[in-house]
C-alpha cells in the first residue's frame, strides 16, 4: 500500500475513522476471497455506471443544438450544469454517508441516477432535460468519494490498491463507453435512444451493485457536524501546496472537457462532415488515458511528482496546438496527446493531494473533486462562447490558456521544498512543506 494510504484518517469531527488498513486486519476483505471478488464486481459496475451516466451527453451536444435550436454554449449546459452541482454536493456527500451508511447512500445514488437519465431521454423540452441533468449532479454525488471511503474501511491494506484500481478502471471505461454508446446509438436511432441506452445500462449496473456489494462490517454511524467539517476544510488552505493542487484539478479537467465538448461541432461540420457515430468513436482515445494514468503515476512515484507533473501539461499544450491545422490525422494525434497528458496529470495531482493531506484525506479529496468538477462546469460552458465568436481557434486558444496556467502552477510547485521524511503530516502542514 502507498505510504500516504497508511497515514491515519479521521472524520469531520476529528475522531479516528474506522480504517480497515489500520484496525481489525484479520476481519478485513483480502484478495483471493469471495468477498473481494464481490466488492470488485460491485465497484467496477459503480464506476462504469457513474461516469457513463455523467458524460453520455457530451457527444450529443450538436444534436441538442439542432433539435432545440440552442447555441453550443447553451447545449454545453447539459454537462456543465451536472458537474457544477456535483462539485458542490460532493462536499457534503461523505458527511451524509457518515450518518446514513456507505452502502445505502451508494445504492440510492446509482439507482436514482439511472432513473433520471432514463427520464431525460423522454424530456419534452430543453428546460425539462436540464432539470433532469441538474438533479443527476445531486444524485451522482453519493458515489465517488463514498466509494473510496467504503474501500478504506472494509479492505485489507494489501488489497485496497487493487480494489481502488479496478474501481478507477471501471470509471475510465464507463466514461468512454457512455459517450461511445450514446453517440453510435444516436446516429442510427436518434439522441433519445442514445441516452435511453446509457440509462438502461446504468440501471443494470445499479442492480449488479446492489446484489454484489458486501454489507459494511466496520462502518460506525457518526453525527453530522458541519462546523467541524468546515474547520477541517479551512485548515487545508493553510498548506502551501494544497490550494495550488486544487487549482490544478480545475485547470486539468477544464481544458480537457472544453476540447471534447466542442470537437464534435467541428468534426460534423465542413470540411469533415463526420457522422454522429464517427464522433462517438473519438472517445475511444480514452484508452490512451487508462495507460498514461498508471504509467505517469508510477513514474512520478519513482522520480518525484514535482519532477513529472509539468510534462503532463506540456503534452496537453502540444496536443491542443496540433488540433489547429486542418488535417484530421493531426487533430486525432493532438486529442490523443491531450488525453495522455490529462489522465497522467490527474493521476499525479490526485495522489499528491492524498500525500499532502495527512489526517484530512477525506476533506482534501472532497475539495480537490470540487475544484475538478467545477473546472468542467465553468470552463466547459465558457468554451462555447469562444466557439461562437471565433470557432475552433477560439476554443483552442481558451483551452491552451488553461493548460499554460497549469504549466505555470506546476513549475511553481516544483520550486517548493519537499517534505522531510521524518516530519509528521500535521507538522509539515504547519510549515507549508510538500513532498
106, 209 Cβ separation under 8 angstroms = yes
Tell me, yes or no, whether 101 and 187 share the same domain.
Answer: yes
Tell me, yes or no, whether 44 and 70 share the same domain.
Answer: yes
Residues 6+ apart with CB under 8 A from 188: 277
Would residue 138 count as lying in a domain?
yes
Tell me, yes or no, whether 379 and 279 share the same domain.
Answer: yes
Tell me, yes or no, whether 322 and 424 share the same domain.
Answer: yes
Mapped onto helix, strand or coil, the DSSP state of residue 242 is helix
* Alpha-carbon gap, residue 418 to 414, rounded angstroms: 9
**Residue 16 phi, psi dihedral angles, 5° rounding:** -60, 130
Would residue 17 count as lying in a domain?
no
* Alpha-carbon gap, residue 316 to 344, rounded angstroms: 10
Residue appearing with cell numbers 437519465: 117
Identify the CA nearest to 352 among candidates 341, 362, 365: 365
Residues 6+ apart with CB under 8 A from 433: 240, 241, 416, 417, 418, 419, 420, 423
**Domain C-terminal end among 214, 246, 268:** 214
Tell me, yes or no, whether 279 and 420 share the same domain.
Answer: yes
Tell me, yes or no, whether 370 and 257 share the same domain.
Answer: yes
Other CB atoms within 10 A of residue 15 CB: 12
What domain range is 289 assigned to?
232-435
Helix ranges, 269-360 (H): 276-281, 286-303, 305-322, 328-357
Structural domain count, the chain: 2
Per-residue pLDDT at 159: 74
The three three-digit cell numbers of residue 61, written as one number? 451536444
For residue 54, list its beta bridge partners.
none
Would residue 427 count as lying in a domain?
yes
Would residue 220 count as lying in a domain?
no
**Domain C-terminal end among 150, 181, 214:** 214
Eight-state DSSP code of residue 435: -
For residue 154, list its beta bridge partners.
none
> How far is CA 59 from each of CA 89, 183, 330, 333, rounded to the nearest angstrom?
25, 6, 20, 19
**Domain C-terminal end among 214, 246, 269:** 214
Would residue 388 count as lying in a domain?
yes
* Alpha-carbon gap, residue 2 to 351, rounded angstroms: 10
* Alpha-carbon gap, residue 380 to 361, rounded angstroms: 28
* CATH code of the domain covering residue 308: 1.20.1250.20
Tell me, yes or no, whether 381 and 248 share the same domain.
Answer: yes
Per-residue pLDDT at 290: 75
Other CB atoms within 10 A of residue 88 CB: 15
176, 55 Cβ separation under 8 angstroms = no
Identify the CA nearest to 432 among candidates 363, 356, 360: 356
Tell me, yes or no, whether 307 and 431 share the same domain.
Answer: yes
Tell me, yes or no, whether 147 and 244 share the same domain.
Answer: no
Would residue 15 count as lying in a domain?
no
* Alpha-carbon gap, residue 267 to 62, rounded angstroms: 10
Q: How far apart are the first and last CA of the chain?
A: 17
Eight-state DSSP code of residue 3: G
Q: At what angle do helices 102-121 and 144-154 cross, to 10 degrees?
A: 150
Residue appearing with cell numbers 476540447: 259
Would residue 273 count as lying in a domain?
yes
Per-residue pLDDT in tens (0 to 9) along the chain, 435 residues: 332 232 223 333 333 344 564 545 557 888 888 888 999 899 889 988 999 999 999 999 999 999 999 999 999 999 999 999 999 998 888 888 888 888 999 999 999 999 999 999 999 999 999 999 999 999 999 998 788 778 878 888 777 666 766 777 678 788 899 999 999 999 999 999 999 999 999 999 999 999 999 988 877 777 767 777 777 788 889 999 999 999 999 999 999 999 999 999 999 999 999 998 898 888 898 888 878 887 888 888 788 889 999 999 999 999 999 999 999 999 999 999 999 999 899 888 888 887 787 767 777 888 998 999 999 999 999 999 999 999 999 999 999 999 999 999 999 999 876 655 434 344 333 333 333
Tell me, yes or no, whether 109 and 255 share the same domain.
Answer: no
Tell me, yes or no, whether 302 and 432 share the same domain.
Answer: yes
Would residue 260 count as lying in a domain?
yes
* Residue range 317-329, pLDDT digits in tens: 999 999 999 999 9
Angle, vertex CA 429, rays to CA 428 and CA 431, nearest 5: 65
- Cβ-in-10-Å burial (0-12, 13-18, 19+) of 365 comes to buried
Tell me, yes or no, whether 144 and 65 share the same domain.
Answer: yes
Per-residue pLDDT at 434: 31
Amino acid at each position: 500500500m502507498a505510504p500516504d494510504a497508511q497515514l491515519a484518517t479521521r472524520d469531520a469531527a476529528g475522531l479516528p475513522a474506522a480504517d480497515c488498513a489500520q484496525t481489525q486486519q484479520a476481519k478485513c476483505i483480502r484478495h483471493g476471497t469471495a468477498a473481494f471478488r464481490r466488492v470488485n464486481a460491485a465497484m467496477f459496475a459503480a464506476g462504469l455506471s457513474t461516469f457513463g451516466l455523467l458524460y453520455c451527453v457530451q457527444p450529443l451536444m450538436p444534436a441538442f443544438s439542432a433539435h432545440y435550436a440552442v447555441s453550443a454554449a447553451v447545449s454545453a449546459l447539459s454537462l456543465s450544469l451536472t458537474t457544477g452541482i456535483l462539485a458542490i454536493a460532493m462536499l457534503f456527500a461523505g458527511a451524509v454517508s457518515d450518518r446514513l451508511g456507505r452502502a445505502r447512500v451508494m445504492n440510492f445514488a446509482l439507482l436514482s441516477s439511472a432513473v433520471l437519465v432514463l427520464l431525460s431521454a423522454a424530456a419534452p423540452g430543453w428546460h425539462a432535460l436540464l432539470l433532469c441533468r441538474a438533479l443527476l449532479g445531486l444524485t451522482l454525488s453519493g458515489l465517488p468519494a463514498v466509494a473510496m471511503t467504503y474501500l478504506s474501511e472494509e479492505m485489507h491494506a494489501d488489497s485496497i490498491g487493487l480494489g481502488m484500481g479496478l474501481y478507477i478502471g471501471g470509471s475510465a471505461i464507463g466514461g468512454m463507453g457512455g459517450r461511445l454508446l450514446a453517440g453510435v446509438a444516436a446516429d442510427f436511432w436518434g439522441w433519445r435512444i442514445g441516452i435511453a441506452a446509457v440509462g438502461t445500462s446504468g440501471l443494470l449496473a445499479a442492480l449488479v451493485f446492489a446484489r454484489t456489494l458486501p454489507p459494511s462490517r466496520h462502518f460506525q454511524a457518526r453525527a453530522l457536524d458541519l462546523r467541524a467539517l468546515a474547520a477541517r476544510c479551512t485548515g487545508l488552505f493553510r498548506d502551501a501546496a494544497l490550494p495550488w493542487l486544487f487549482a490544478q484539478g480545475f485547470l486539468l479537467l477544464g481544458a480537457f472537457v472544453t476540447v471534447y465538448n466542442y470537437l464534435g461541432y467541428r468534426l460534423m461540420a465542413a470540411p469533415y462532415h463526420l457522422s454522429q457515430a464517427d464522433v462517438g468513436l473519438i472517445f475511444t482515445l480514452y484508452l490512451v488515458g487508462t495507460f498514461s494514468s498508471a504509467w505517469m503515476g508510477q513514474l512520478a512515484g519513482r522520480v518525484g511528482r514535482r519532477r513529472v507533473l509539468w510534462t503532463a501539461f506540456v503534452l496537453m499544450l502540444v496536443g491542443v496546438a496540433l488540433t489547429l491545422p486542418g488535417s484530421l490525422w493531426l487533430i486525432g494525434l493532438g486529442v490523443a496527446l491531450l488525453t495522455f497528458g490529462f489522465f497522467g496529470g490527474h493521476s499525479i495531482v490526485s495522489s499528491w493531494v492524498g500525500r499532502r493531506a495527512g489526517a484530512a484525506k477525506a476533506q482534501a479529496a472532497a475539495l480537490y473533486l470540487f475544484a475538478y468538477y467545477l473546472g468542467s462546469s465553468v470552463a466547459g460552458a465558457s468554451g462555447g462562447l469562444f466557439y461562437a465568436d471565433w470557432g475552433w481557434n477560439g476554443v483552442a486558444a481558451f483551452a491552451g490558456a488553461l493548460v499554460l496556467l497549469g504549466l505555470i502552477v506546476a513549475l511553481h510547485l516544483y520550486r517548493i521544498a519537499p517534505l522531510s521524511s521524518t516530519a509528521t503530516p500535521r507538522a509539515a502542514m504547519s510549515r507549508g512543506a510538500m513532498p
